[in-house]
A and B are shown apart, each in its own frame.
Chain A
C-alpha cells in the first residue's frame, strides 16, 4: 500500500530564480554553487546543454551560444521559498521528513488509500498556485520506491505518479540502472556489477539478500528490502542531534596574509556558532584547517589543521573566535597561497547541561545575555545588522565569488521585486 510520498521540487534553485523573472520562463537557466564554480541546478531547457556538476568556466562557449542565464546561489531566497513549500505540505500530513532543501517525505497513512493520489495532485496544485514552485510527487510503500515514483512523475504532465505496490515498479526497475536508485551510488553499483553481475534495479530487487548483506553490508540490504516494498528506512520527523558542525569554504581569491586568513576563519566560526546556538548546543572542541589549491601545481602545496579543546563546553562566540584566530596563527606559514579554510565544532552537547547557575553574577549569565541581545538584533534587523569586527566587513577580499547573485527578494526590504505601475 502506498502510504508514503516523496515531494520533490523541480529544478528547485532555478524555479526560485524564475519566480520573480517572468522573462526567464522558457529560457535555459542554471545556478552555480559556491564561488560560482560548478552547476548545482539546471532548468529543463538547460539539461541538454550542460551536465550537472560541470565547471561553469569550461562551458562558457556553450552557455553563451544557447543564451543560458547563470545565477550564483542565492541561499537566502532558496531557504525562504523552501520553508513556504514545506509549510504548504504540512497541511496534508501530520508526519513529514524534510530530507533536503527541496525534498520531503510525507506520511499519508491518515488519508484513506483511495484518496491519496488525488490529495497529492491537490498538494502539487497548491504549491504551484500559492508559492509558484513546480513539484513532482511519487507515491509508494517505501522511501526508495517513492523516490523512483517521483522520477517517473517528473516526465508526466500531471506530475504525480504512484506505485500501488512493489510489483507495480518492476517495469521501471528493469530499465533503471543501479546507480540511479536512491542510496546506491556509483561505487556500490560498480561493486554490484563486478562482484554479483547485477546491473538493473529489478536484478537488485531479486538478488539474494543474504549474499548482498555479506558482500555489500547492511545499507544495500536495506535498499533491497525497500525495493521489495518492505520499509527499512524509517521516517525521521525531527532532525537527529548533530555530532559536529562544519563551515568550510574556498576563498573568492587566493589568500596570502595571516590577517585575511584570521578574518575568514572568524567569519566561518561565527556562521558555525549561529547553527550551534540554533540547535541549543555547546561544543567542546574547535578545529581550524587550511589548504592550498591542489590543481595549482605551479604553487607550493601545504595543508594543516589545529585542534583547540575547551576546558568547559561553550557556545560563546567571542571565545570561539579568539580560539579560531589563535589556531590559524599557529598553523599559518608565510609565502603560501591559501585556497580554502574550514572551521569545525565538535564534541557537541545540549546547552541545558550548562544552564541554570545559582549565582546571579555568574559570568555565564552575562555571556548568555550578550548572545540573547545579538540574537534579538539579528531577528529584528536581519543577519549582518550586527557582527564581530574580527569577522570582516560586508565584502572582504577573501569573500566567496557571487557575481551573478539575484536580489534577496524575500528577506531584504531593499531587494523587493518591482512591478511597474
Chain B
C-alpha cells in the first residue's frame, strides 16, 4: 500500500514514539489459525442465542465443545447450528426460538460435532454488506 504523504515542514509529530499497531479483528477473534473456519448461518432457529439469518459464524475445531456450547453439527447429511448437550445415549440439539423444538438424537453415531462457534458477526441494521 502507498505510504501516506508526510508533512515536510511544521512540528514533529509528538505521537511518533507512542505509535502502536492498528487493532486487528482477525487477530482478536482467531486464536487457532489452522483450525478456524468461517461459516454462514441461514435461518432463525437460533435467534435468541444472537444468531440470525446471514450472520457470520467463526468456528474453531481446536476447541472441544462443552455441554451447552453452540456448535456446528452434522446430522443426516446436513450442517446445523445448535446448542449441544450430551444425553445418556445420544444428544439433544437445542434451538433458541420458541417455534422450533429441540432435536433428539438417540445414538452417538447419528451426529458429529464439526466445530465450536466461538464468535458471531452480526449486522444489527439488517443491511447486507
Interface hub of B51, B56, B57 (most chain A Cβ within 10 A): B57
**Given A417-B79, A419-B39, is A131 in contact with B46 using a C-beta cutoff of 8 Å?**
no
Among the listed B43, B56, B77, B78, which residue makes an inter-chain contact with A416, where contact means beta carbons less than 8 Å apart? B56
On chain B, the residues within 8 Å of A409 by CB distance are 37
Instruction: Indicate if the CB atoms of B34 and A417 lie closer than 8 Å.
Output: no
On chain A, the residues within 8 Å of B44 by CB distance are 421
Instruction: Indicate if the CB atoms of B78 and A23 lie closer than 8 Å.
Output: yes
On chain B, the residues within 8 Å of A130 by CB distance are 32, 34-35, 61-62
Asked whether B112 is an interface residue with its Cβ less than 8 Å from the other chain, the reply is: yes
**Given A22-B112, A129-B62, A132-B61, is A420 in contact with B78 using a C-beta cutoff of 8 Å?**
yes
On chain A, the residues within 8 Å of B57 by CB distance are 419
Asked whether B118 is an interface residue with its Cβ less than 8 Å from the other chain, the reply is: no
Asked whether A331 is an interface residue with its Cβ less than 8 Å from the other chain, the reply is: no
On chain B, the residues within 8 Å of A417 by CB distance are 37, 39-40, 79
Q: How far is the CB of B87 from chain A (nearest CB, A)?
A: 21
The interface bits of chain B over 20-61 (1 if a CB of A lies within 8 angstroms of the residue's CB, else 0) are 000000000000111101111111111100011101110001
Interface hub of B41, B45, B47 (most chain A Cβ within 10 A): B41
On chain B, the residues within 8 Å of A131 by CB distance are 34-35, 61
On chain B, the residues within 8 Å of A421 by CB distance are 41-47, 51-53, 55, 80-81
Asked whether B91 is an interface residue with its Cβ less than 8 Å from the other chain, the reply is: no
Asked whether A187 is an interface residue with its Cβ less than 8 Å from the other chain, the reply is: no
Give bound CA distance, A131 to B35, whole Å: 5
Interface hub of B1, B35, B55 (most chain A Cβ within 10 A): B35
Give bound CA distance, A169 to B77, whole Å: 41
On chain A, the residues within 8 Å of B78 by CB distance are 22-23, 420
On chain A, the residues within 8 Å of B56 by CB distance are 416
Give bound CA distance, A132 to B41, whole Å: 20
Give bound CA distance, A418 to B114, whole Å: 12
Give bound CA distance, A180 to B41, whole Å: 46
Asked whether A235 is an interface residue with its Cβ less than 8 Å from the other chain, the reply is: no
**Given A129-B62, A132-B61, is A420 in contact with B42 using a C-beta cutoff of 8 Å?**
yes
Interface residues of A in 379-410 (CB under 8 A from B): 409-410
Asked whether B74 is an interface residue with its Cβ less than 8 Å from the other chain, the reply is: yes
Among the listed B34, B39, B72, which residue makes an inter-chain contact with A87, where contact means beta carbons less than 8 Å apart? B34
Number of interface residues of A (CB under 8 A): 21
Give bound CA distance, A9 to B48, whole Å: 40
Asked whether A88 is an interface residue with its Cβ less than 8 Å from the other chain, the reply is: yes
Give bound CA distance, A78 to B45, whole Å: 32
Instruction: Indicate if the CB atoms of A419 and B40 lie closer than 8 Å.
Output: yes
On chain B, the residues within 8 Å of A420 by CB distance are 41-43, 45, 78-81
**Which residue from chain A places its CB closest to the CB of B41 in the assembled complex?**
A421
**Which residue from chain A places its CB closest to the CB of B96 in the assembled complex?**
A421
Asked whether A253 is an interface residue with its Cβ less than 8 Å from the other chain, the reply is: no
**Given A23-B78, A130-B32, is A416 in contact with B46 using a C-beta cutoff of 8 Å?**
no
Give bound CA distance, A116 to B20, whole Å: 42
Asked whether A95 is an interface residue with its Cβ less than 8 Å from the other chain, the reply is: no
Give bound CA distance, A129 to B40, whole Å: 21
**Given A130-B62, A421-B45, is A416 in contact with B39 using a C-beta cutoff of 8 Å?**
yes
**Which residue from chain B places its CB closest to the CB of A376 in the assembled complex?**
B1
Give bound CA distance, A373 to B2, whole Å: 8
On chain B, the residues within 8 Å of A416 by CB distance are 38-40, 56
On chain B, the residues within 8 Å of A129 by CB distance are 35, 61-62
Interface hub of B1, B52, B53 (most chain A Cβ within 10 A): B1
Interface residues of A in 117-152 (CB under 8 A from B): 129-132
Instruction: Indicate if the CB atoms of A410 and B79 lie closer than 8 Å.
Output: no
Q: How far is the CB of B5 from chain A (nearest CB, A)?
A: 15
Q: How far is the CB of A227 from chain B (nearest CB, A)?
A: 35
Q: List 9 A-B contacts (CB under 8 A).
A: A20-B79, A22-B74, A22-B79, A84-B35, A130-B34, A130-B62, A132-B114, A420-B41, A420-B78
Residues of A within 8 A of B (CB): 20, 22-23, 84-85, 87-88, 129-132, 373, 376, 409-410, 416-421
